[in-house]
Amino acid sequence: MIRVLVSGAAGRMGATVCQAVAAADGLELVARADPALGVSVADAIATAAPEVMVDFSLPHSAVANIRAALAAGVHAVVGTTGFDLSALDGLDGANLFIAPNFAIGAVLMMRFAAEAARHMAAAEIIELHHDAKLDAPSGTAALTAARMAAAVPERGAPPIHSVRLPGLVAHQEVILGDLGQTLTIRHDSIDRSSFMPGVILAVRRVGDLPDRVTVGLERLLWNDAGGTTAP
């Protein structure tokens, strides 16, 4: 059994992760950390001895949570976005896995968009999220733009437009245009359960990853994804 701590457990994503971990074979939910619960990550690590921390907290607290986990030898699976990855430079300890989006459909959308960028003249990205999301653009949109720019370096990253409205969960479309035609690649997460298969996969794999830092769920899905650091 893999012993799992969930950071940000009082939030909507954190609560969904807790349910998914508790229901998954081979995983045991041993602690929930969140300021709203009066439990810090450091306290949860000290009392529950987890092997993996899943962090869906807030951008301003995620780095401290990650530092505390890695220093204690606890692997970290991080879905929090909106913080600078360079803040984690030089960290030693356990393995760190970060993904801006754990929905497998969203990962496919990013892969298809990068391929399409090689063949279409121009593109723009529209990302739409619930009104409580703090960062804009989303981590998924930023990573999509980076992957598209890497596919066609001379063109650079496409523009990103962010929408925040009640009633939304997580949605993104990449619109590509060329002579007399357009192509739209869209992914919709209509429920937070869409992220859970990816989260559970990362929890199971993070301890065995060959690199200390791995970014992107595609690194767990395809052998040709290449590299383990952010683009």
Read off the amino acid at residue 52. Answer: V
Which of 133, 161, 171, 187 is catalytic? The answer is 133
Q: How far apart are CA 168 and CA 165, in angstroms?
A: 6
Which of 75, 129, 171, 187 is catalytic? The answer is 129
Q: Is 187 a catalytic residue?
A: no
Hey, what are 12's tokens? 């909507």
- In terms of Cβ atoms closer than 10 Å to its own Cβ (0-12, 13-18, 19+), residue 84 is exposed
Quote the distance between the C-alpha of residue 205 and its chain's center: 15
Q: How far apart are CA 49 and CA 16, in angstroms?
A: 22
Is 125 within 8 Å of 141 (Cβ atoms)? yes
Q: Is 129 a catalytic residue?
A: yes
Which residues are catalytic, by number? 129, 133
